[in-house]
Structure 1
């Protein structure tokens, strides 16, 4: 599967120019705060609209300014894991996981089966009736990932998924994330400040500074942050 991003978006500080192509496997996008990392993901997901360009998924236009195509987020088949997880506070873990499936208008029996599968897979079955305020940081992340994967996306976008966790928990969940991405076998993009995290999780790496994206050819082997 191929995801092609060739877009321009005028921001207050600079113009974002994202021009790259990714295939199956995880691609890392590193850069300092305010460099355009999250905006790039939001444009791909359809949350933000580029000023010009195109985004293609296996040749299908998700966005094309010339052809006036701009599919809404729910029609792009893209899973987005926000930095703060964006769980619905008034919904239980179980309800959070199933909310995306209801939007797909799946039969009730099929929704229940899929939710049970995700609760089991991400080891949160015992948390099913809890609310986000009752969860630890790691439990919130597992719930958010379960919700994302339940939707069966064609592309996964991960925005600083481990940044809010302490170092010990980050190490544990990094391993789980690595396994999830390996099983996914479709395009995914991981945004992070942590070069070591990206090195462990991603097969290909890019850097972004003031909206300019380029391959990170001389990738560091020591732990650090950009």
Structure 2
């Protein structure tokens, strides 16, 4: 993992990319990833929907989706998170990139598999796809109850660690990496940075909820095809 002030990058991705830290960052830092490229945004809704883009959307026309892919040079893809897992993907041989917002609902519903499938439609090969999972809530910080656990299969038990009575600690990053593996992704880099624990650097929806404070802060993750 390579790190700079307010910007974190994965060593395995060749495409211009970055995970911006939260409270200190602003939109002017977007140009640190790919230069002055147009940025494509989504209206994220915790779904498994993926869109293929070839040009930016006007703000009032952003599609309801949680991942986007492109094979169009000169675009920068952006997603926002605050505990959910930001996942950036590329097939450098096919020149196809993707970005996904993988909360537990989206990951459970198939957003990562759908992102890989959309990249394949643009010419990518799953085994050639490299993914990086950016800062997200860690298992130690992510307590869930029995109702949450029942939505997952017995095979998913590896991502649940027993906690206090009637509760578990859920490994969102590990679960996302597993879903990418099942989709055939060749390599996944897990940055293993806990958004809940590192208050100086990251917004955390759960931390804000626990404290009863504003929870509208988000950090931006970006990948570009230059």
TM-score in same-fold range (> 0.5) = no
Higher RCO (CA-CA < 8 Å; seq separation 6+) = 1
User: TM (normalized to structure 2)?
Assistant: 0.29
Larger % of helix: which? 1
Return the index of the structure with the highest Cα Rg. 1
TM-score, normalised relative to structure 1: 0.29
